[in-house]
Structure 1
Amino acid sequence: MTDHDNTVAAPMPPDVVAWPREWRCDPLTSGHDLPPLFALVGASGGVGTTTLARMWGPAADSDTRWPANPETTQWCVLVARLSMAGIDDAAARLRGDAGPDGLDVFGIVWTPPRPGRIPKEVNRYAATIGELVDHCWWVPWIEELMLARRDAIAPWLPTSPLPDKKHSNLAAGPPLTVCTTGADIVATVTTRYRH
């Protein structure tokens, strides 16, 4: 038994609102001297939100919680593994979670569980669940990430030129496919929310 097993939660004062555990109430940051344009929310843990937020300068990592702070973005992209279990997780989050006021989940980024081809049954199921949102993006397996430390990955910024196809130096920035996906998400957000 650990010390944590013996702790007792203090009673909450009656004037304090109890936020759902799946909400993140603190202001989001992008970590790149930019205000976050959109939040990445994991359908479950370990799907790549932290790494993607590191590679996309305008993104904030909201872990697996819906952003609920109205002072920062509540425009979200759900991130899920491209596997049957990962798609189930995405479906459950999109269909079952009650999000905070102002939340807009406008897309899904599917991340691969491994290198190689994805079975057609998985792709069909992902396409079906993808109909619950307006946009779907796929990020490929990036072998170089196996040896990369997050603080050694340079971000793609909307003002950055796109790398060439052979680019694989993560210290100089993400690969072309990751950059073009980030650019497409930024274009989607700016078009969707232009006033």
Structure 2
Amino acid sequence: MHTNVIHLHHPDTTEPRRFEPDTIAAPTPDRQAPVRQTPLPTTGPYPPLFAVLGAHGGAGTSTLAQWWAHAADAGLAWPASTRTTQRVVVAARDCLSGLTAAAERLREWHAGLAPAGVVVLGLVLTPVRPGRVPPAVRRYRRIVADLVDGAIWFIEWHDDLLVCELAQLAQFIPNGPTPSRRQDVTTAVPIDVHRAGTAITACIAASRATAATDAPEDVQ
């Protein structure tokens, strides 16, 4: 049994607003994501506080969930079980096909087609190769950003991942120290991974604080 607890600060950050379902062009049934009915796995030192959902195959969910100690790998499926977290960060490659898939998942959520209780925190993008992203991708990215109120986190290209097993990766722990920029990925998470993990954690903390404020006074 995992008994460790993550203590979160409560900054003034909230998750993206949700659009009215009838204002969204929802994906057709054959384009919608599957649903996971079983609880998410607890593979790290903490019960997961959010799930990394791949918008498409090869979106890097396994690597991201390994890097963030408080995350779970949801694969390509929406988490439906209320026994574990239903907070979701959508992951996609930073290319036209990846962004198109991400937009479908986000429109699916806005349209009310994801399981009840699912909350999307934002979108994390990983590169398909080192170097600059083409202008067409950057333009479309700005359109997709509207679906998450601009809550997009970027992970850079890291050559070390090509020669490193997942189990060897260092992990981000909420409220932990900021790593230096020149460390091996087995020693400390990259600074961009730390930055994204910190922002996601802040969003979760703020949503918890809001939920506590909105709770009825007679609820203990």
When the two structures are superposed, what TM-score results if normalisation uses the length of structure 2? Answer: 0.76
Cα distance between partner residues in 2 of 1:107 and 1:159: 20
Task: Check if 1:166 corresponds to 2:171.
Answer: no
Shift in alpha-carbon separation, 1:92–1:115, aligned structure 2, 3 A: same
Shift in alpha-carbon separation, 1:121–1:175, aligned structure 2, 3 A: same
Cα distance between partner residues in 2 of 1:174 and 1:125: 29
1:155–1:174 contact (8 Å) kept in structure 2? yes
Cα distance between partner residues in 2 of 1:127 and 1:31: 34
Task: Check if 1:182 corresponds to 2:182.
Answer: no
The aligned counterpart of 1:11 is: none
The aligned counterpart of 1:27 is: 39
Residues 131-152 of structure 1: CA deviation (Å, up to 9, x unaligned): 1113111111111101110011
Cα distance between partner residues in 2 of 1:21 and 1:42: 10
- Kindly state the Cα deviation for residue 29 of structure 1 after the two structures are TM-superposed: 3.0
Cα distance between partner residues in 2 of 1:144 and 1:45: 21
The aligned counterpart of 2:103 is: 91
* 5+ residue gaps, structure 2: 1-31, 213-220
- The amino acid of 1:113's aligned partner reads V
1:30–1:57 contact (8 Å) kept in structure 2? no
Shift in alpha-carbon separation, 1:36–1:175, aligned structure 2, 3 A: same
- Identical counterparts, % of pairs: 38
2:154–2:192 contact (8 Å) kept in structure 1? no
- Give the aligned CA root-mean-square deviation in angstroms: 1.5
User: Which structure's relative contact order is higher, taking Cα pairs within 8 Å and 6+ residues apart?
Assistant: 2
Deviates more, 1:87-96 or 1:76-85: 87-96
Cα distance between partner residues in 2 of 1:145 and 1:114: 12
The aligned counterpart of 1:122 is: 137
Cα distance between partner residues in 2 of 1:112 and 1:164: 22
The aligned counterpart of 2:148 is: 133
- The amino acid of 1:22's aligned partner reads P
Task: Check if 1:154 corresponds to 2:166.
Answer: no
Shift in alpha-carbon separation, 1:159–1:152, aligned structure 2, 3 A: same
For these two proteins, the number of residue pairs brought into alignment is 175
When the two structures are superposed, what TM-score results if normalisation uses the length of structure 1? Answer: 0.85
1:75 alignment partner, one of 68, 72, 87: 87
Task: Check if 1:56 corresponds to 2:72.
Answer: no
* 5+ residue gaps, structure 1: 1-19
Cα distance between partner residues in 2 of 1:121 and 1:21: 26
The aligned counterpart of 1:40 is: 52
Cα distance between partner residues in 2 of 1:77 and 1:193: 16
- The amino acid of 1:128's aligned partner reads I
Runs of 4+ in 1 over 3 A off after TM superposition: none
